Structure 1
Amino acid sequence: MLIKSMNTIRTIILCFSFLQLFTLTVNGVPADYQMVWHDEFDTGTTPELGSIKRHDGWIYSYGGGGWGNGELQYYVKGNESPENCFIKDGILHIVLTKDVDALGNVRYHSIRMRTGGNWKYGYFEASIKLPSGSGTWPAFWMMPATGGWPDDGEIDIMEAVGNTPGYVYSTVHSKKYKSGIARSFELPTSQDGFHKYAVEWTSSYLRFYVDDIMFYQVAANQDYNVYPFNDAGAFYIILNLAFGGSWGGAAGVNLDCLPQTMEVDYVRVYQPNVSGIQHVVRQQEHNDVYSLAGYKLPKKTKGINIINGKKILIK
Structure 2
Amino acid sequence: MSNPKVLEKMSGSILCAMAKVAVDRSCGQVEAFLGKWFVTNDLLKYIADRSPSLKVLRLSSCYIANIGVAWAIKEFPLLEDLELSLCLSASGEYVLETIGTSCTLTRFQWCGYTNGKAMGTTMTKLHSLQLFGSSLNNSGLAAILDNCPNIESLDIRYFFNIKMDDALREKCAGIRSVRLPHDSIDDYEFKDNLPCWLHKAFWSGQLAEIQQTTKFKNHNLRLARIKKIMKTDSDVQRISGEAPMVFAKACEMFIQELMLRGWHHAQENKRTLQKNDITEAIARTEVFDFMVPSKKNGTTVPPTTTAVQEDDDDPYTNYYECDCFSCPSSPDDPDLRNVTN
Does the pair score TM above 0.5? no
**Bigger radius of gyration:** 1
Larger helix share, 1 or 2:
2
TM-score range, shorter chain: under 0.3
Larger RCO (CA under 8 A, 6+ residues apart): 1
| TM-score w.r.t. length of structure 1 | 0.26
Larger strand share, 1 or 2:
1
